[in-house]
Every structure is written in structure tokens, then in C-alpha cells.
Amino acid sequence: MVSIIAGSKSDSNIVEKAEKVLEEFSVPYETKYLSAHRTPDLLDEYIKNCEQKGTKVFIAIAGGAAHLPGVIASKTLKPVIGVPVKSNDLGGLDSLLSIVQMPNDIPVATVGIDRGKNAALLAIEILALSDESLSKKLKDYRSKLVGKYL
């Protein structure tokens, strides 16, 4: 249902945050490490395969120039959620601006820097629009937040 694509294995700590949430909600997912720049043909092939397998949402985790979410969005009509990665040079601002400033007509939803957890929750919200069971799990999750943070 959800495809997580990260541009580099160095992003695995953010990937793990997303995977953990998807597992908590029993949402099937697949994770791949593919680069928009270093493995463009493999990325293209993988996106086509995801379309055939029924992927409903993509989570794209990328740092630096962070072209990965936009490239994915240009190749699918499914929602793409971009997760900018904190960088040593600009603290992730470069990644954030690259993802959030997509050109008109090819949108990418964007969460905060290193917020893999929020990307997974947003993916679940999208899926819950057409899945009552998942919607109930999400409502239960949200109701528990009150006690957790107060």
C-alpha cells in the first residue's frame, strides 16, 4: 500500500521512523533505496512496478538537492509525501525548500525535516479516507495523544 523510497542508506534512521508507524497501524509497505540521480533507470522501473502492484501512497526521503520526491511525483498520479533530510551544510533547509517548492501541477506534500513519523501518519490519513478500519485506528491513536502530552 505504501512505498518508502530513500535516496541513500544514510537516511535509514528516518526510514525506520516511518516503518515503525506503518507497522503499528498494520499498513503494508515496502522500502527501497534508490537515487533520482545515481539510479534513475532503477527508480523509474520501480515506480512502474509499484503502480502495477497497487501502491497507493509514496513516501520519498531525500537530502541535499532532494529531487527524489519531485521525480517520483512526475512519474505517478499517486500522492507523494516528501521528507527533507537534515544536512550538515544547511541543516536541511536546502532539502526542505527543494521539496516544498515544486512547480505548479506536480504537487508533493511535505513534512518537516527528518519527520519520517509524520510522513507515515499522513500516508495513513490518506489511506484512511477509503478504509474505515484504518480510520478507527487513527482516531484511537489520536485520542491517546491527549494523555501522552498533557
Measured distance CA(114)–CA(63) in Å, rounded: 9
- 115 carries a ligand binding annotation: no
Strand boundaries in 9-96, DSSP class E: 29-33, 57-62, 80-84
- 142 carries a ligand binding annotation: no
CB burial readout 14-43, b (16+ within 10 A) else e: bbebbbebbeebebebebbbbbbeeeeeeb
Measured distance CA(91)–CA(123) in Å, rounded: 25
Measured distance CA(41)–CA(116) in Å, rounded: 25
- 8 carries a ligand binding annotation: yes
DSSP code at position 102: P
Binding annotation for substrate: 8, 11, 38
Q: Residues annotated in the binding site, as ranges?
A: 8, 11, 38
